[in-house]
Amino acid sequence: MRHLCEFRDRGLTISLATELDRIVDRPIRFMEVCGTHTMAIFRHGLRSLLPEDLHLISGPGCPVCVTPTGHIDAFIRIACMPGVTVATFGDLVRVPGTNGSLARARSQGARIEVVYSPIDALNLAEQRPKDLVVFPAIGFEATIPGVAATILEARRRKIQNFAVFPAHKLMPPALEALMSQSCFEIQGLLCPGHVSTIIGANAYRFLSMRYYLPCVIAGFEPADIIQALILLTRQVRYGRAEVENAYPRAVRWEGNARAQGLMQEVFEPVDSEWRGMGIIPRSGLAIQPGFSEFDITKRLDIEIPQVQGPKGCRCGEILIGQCMPSDCPLFATVCTPLDPVGPCMVSAEGTCAAYYRYGRHH
Amino acid sequence: MHGLCGGDLRCLLSLWETPLKNKTILLEHGSGGLASQELISRLFLTHLGNPVLSSLEDSAIIETSIGRLAFSTDSYTVDPIFFPGGDIGLLAVHGTINDIAMRGARPLCLSLGVILEEGLLISDLENVVLSIKEASEKAGVPVVTGDTKVVPKGKGDKVFINTSGIGIVPDGINISVKEARPGDIIMLSGTIADHGVAILTRRAGISIQGDLKSDTMALHRLVQLLVETLPEAVHTLRDPTRGGIATAFNEIAKTAGVGMDIEESKIPIRPEVEAACELLGLDPLYLASEGKFLALIAPEYAAQALDMIRLQPEGRDAAIIGKVTKDPSGRVVLKTAVGGARLVESLSGEPLPRIC
Ligand code: SF4
């Protein structure tokens, strides 16, 4: 992990921050799309280094947060069925649905196991042949190829007691939906690193061309992030709108063809509901009919109703940059990481959790 | 009761309004973070609180006619029971010895209670017992009383261990979280997060280059040396187990009503541990150590204490990582390695790897 060090160098970071301070000569609003960026910015205390006129708004990039309440309810419903084990990423366990969370269901006897990758869930199914193991597949392009590969592997290993709840989200359609809202005012986009390794830098071109929005792809180290902010600011100052790749050590323009192929082999785009944004055309993925035996929604005929999010919670607006956690009256009073009301307070990548944990003295 | 204090007031106040009645115990109530603190304050202290218990130190100090005794108990549930660098037996001996040492006391003896699950291999149990023997002999702290129970299969998880311990507090020694005062130097006796990373990567089935192993070890000799040589130097000791150093900092800051300034770049961490955290998206400040202490030391003794600790094998990597301040009271500020600043809060929820 040698390459990490140079991008975390104090001298480099400070000199980049000084340069950024020099060129920000007017109020600017950028959106960081990815929850991992939000977290990195807070963890390294970068907010204290940024110019006052530069406003960073978090976007719809936290996988748990964009998953709507109807889906959470369905995960809990499935977990409570006899003979079922839900094998899930830990982040999802505490997210509140309409009535309680997976954690609550687990304390009442539902079988819920935390796994670290979809392949762990498949292995669990192999170890527990009497259980139906269900993996709620949430997350963006960065996690999708792994799930696709796991489904192929399940078929290869002829494991029949394994199924996936397809709840993935695709980033470009969501960004397009955001941009077409008239009230949406940002001057540049800090594009996610991990997602871009899969979809490639070219995937953002429509934003710069159609919406004249500067886009810069950034890595996750402090120097990466500030360097990307400098590139964005320069574009704003010189009236340019382009896609720039500030993370070339991981991201290629065309992305990862093999991973894209895996995705297409197993999944197909469908309209999908996002928390805060409603249904966005072709922004989610369904499992291809050829793999429907691994699709829990088909196997158990699961209906996913559209339901209201938690009462009073403004996660939906926060996810599209229309308000800040401090605008939510529940923030840090009723809603805390200990007793979260909405998903943005649960996930490590959630904006409310980040502001609660790191940002309250600003 | 281990590693707890008043917690985040706002959190507690908000929960005060929700009745406990319909709530169930969740896993995070055992995380050592805010949820554990809340359960302890609202339930145990409400009914059992007394001046000694309510101080929530690593061990209780009891005044007797023959002197002051330190008394502590801790239960151990760890999955897997054998992990790189140790097992549940070592942990159970070291943990309680360390809790006693955190008051400057010299541990005398331990009790050992085991709850076994039907079906556990006796050879596995024997290995755990051999570890207990090895740890207690090496530490010079014998197990003097014990108890064994068995529960039906599925009603436990292999083996649960409880150890209690008694120690003697030397005259004139008064080490407590309440003794922390502005100006104190914050010292860490070695690298952070070793135990937490070893367990999490093992549980996740992730193999990472390099040698990730638990740092479980007894610290009483190091503490004794420090306390005997420089009796006035040490104000506070805490071992950053569950919840990591972030939670330990906050417990001290909130209980003592002081602030803390921590320098991220000074915090010792092994490169392979840092790399594993990076890969999994974990913040090492929240991961457990099982063989390290945080010491708050009067500034005039800091250099001497550091030199002394570093000469001992348990304290080779010791470092001064910050200082206690007056303001902001109850708050911990981290100067990040890249020159930024941010607050550090207690652990809430379980430490979890990221998704994307
Ligand atoms: S503070 Fe809590 S209730 Fe308010 S928006 Fe955030 S998660 Fe929702």
Q: Which value does ipTM take for this structure?
A: 0.74
**Segment B52-56 mean pLDDT:** 88
Residue B215 domain boundaries: 177-343
Which residue range(s) make up the domain with A195? Answer: 1-362
Distance, in angstroms, between A322 CA and closest chain B CA?
24
Cα B196 to middle of ligand 1, angstroms: 30
CB burial of A176-204 (b: ≥16 within 10 Å; e: otherwise) equals bbbbeeeeeebbbbbbbbbbbbbbbbebb
Closest C-alpha among A264, A301, A313 to residue A78: A301
CATH number at residue A308: 3.40.50.11750
Q: Give the residue ranges of DSSP H helices in B153-292.
A: 194-204, 220-229, 244-256, 271-280
Nearest CA to B254 out of B158, B345, B151, B140 is that of: B345
Domain count, chain B: 1
Predicted local distance difference test score (pLDDT) of residue B123: 96
Nearest-CA distance from B76 to chain A in Å?
Answer: 20
B127 domain-assigned: no
**B293 is a domain residue:** yes
Q: Total domain count for chain A?
A: 1
* Closest protein CA for atom 1 of ligand 1: A331
Residues lining ligand 1, Cβ inside 6 A = A 313-315, 318, 325, 328, 330-331, 335, 341-342, 344-345, 352
Q: For residue B137, is it within any domain? A: no
Residue at token pair 């409570």: A80
Say how many residues make up chain A.
362
Binary contact (B355, A17; C-beta < 8 A): no
Residue A128 CB neighbour total at 10 angstroms: 15
Report if residue B325 sits inside a domain.
yes
Residue B27 lies in a domain: no
Q: Could you read off the pLDDT tens digit of each residue along chain A, which spans 362 residues?
A: 233 456 678 889 999 999 999 999 999 999 999 888 998 898 898 989 999 999 999 999 999 999 999 999 999 999 999 999 999 998 899 899 998 899 999 989 999 998 988 999 999 999 999 999 999 999 999 999 999 999 999 999 999 999 999 999 999 999 999 988 867 789 999 999 999 999 999 999 999 999 999 999 999 999 999 999 999 999 999 999 999 999 999 999 999 999 999 999 999 999 999 998 899 999 999 999 999 999 999 999 998 988 988 889 999 899 988 889 999 999 988 998 888 899 999 887 889 988 888 876 54
Structure confidence at residue A358 (pLDDT): 80
CATH code where residue B196 lies = 3.90.650.10
Give pLDDT, residue B226. 95
pLDDT of residue B348: 76
In this prediction, residue A167 carries a pLDDT of 97
Under DSSP, the state recorded for B338 is T
Pairing of the two strands B86-87 and A188-191: unpaired
For residue A360, what pLDDT is reported? 64
Note the pLDDT tens digit of each residue in B75-117: 999 888 999 999 999 999 999 999 999 999 999 999 999 999 9
Q: Is residue B200 part of a domain?
A: yes
Q: Which residue has the higher pLDDT, B31 or B352?
A: B31
- Residue B287 falls inside a structural domain: yes
Question: Whole-angstrom Cα distance, residue A94 to residue A342?
Answer: 10
Q: Is the peptide bond before A51 cis (omega within 30 degrees of 0)?
A: no
pLDDT of B9-50, one tens digit each?
333 434 444 555 557 888 888 877 788 888 898 899 999 999
Please tell me which of the candidates A90, A142, A223 has its beta carbon nearest to residue B350.
A90
B356, A358: Cβ pair inside 8 Å? Answer: no
Give every CB contact of residue B272 below 8 A, 6+ residues apart in sequence: B208, B209, B210, B211, B212
Residue B314 tokens read as 């348990």
Q: Is residue B216 in a domain?
A: yes
